[in-house]
Amino acid sequence: MFVPRKIEGNCFYFSTNTSAMRSQQFIKNPKASIYFYNKGRFKYEGIMLTGTMEVLQDDEIKQEIWSTGDTMYYKQGVTDPDYCVLKFTAIKGRYYCDLKTESFDIEDLK
């Protein structure tokens, strides 16, 4: 999966295949996590977010995050039935840096 196409508050939007194993898994069980990291020359940082993942087929959001190059993966364009949007909503997180970790709730950050 590529980087998020849209980030809005604690929600992250990704494009993927409806037929993908993970899409089908999230339809049955929406629990999910995502992880971002930055590997610098002298420092490694990472953040894991846990929450829920929704599989969206709404035409409006599909059009919003569609990119012209996506036709390489979805031959029928934005209306391709195998194109969907995953919306991840973060609830909790864990930050890692310099061998230290810190857990947090998203609500506490608002």
Over residues 56-73, the pLDDT tens digits come to 999 999 999 999 899 999
Are 23 and 53 in contact, with CB atoms under 8 Å apart?
no
Alpha-carbon gap, residue 14 to 3, rounded angstroms? 7
Strands (E), 1-110: 6-8, 11-17, 31-39, 44-56, 83-97, 100-105
How many residues are recorded in the chain? 110
Over residues 65-103, the pLDDT tens digits come to 999 899 999 999 999 999 999 999 999 999 999 889 999
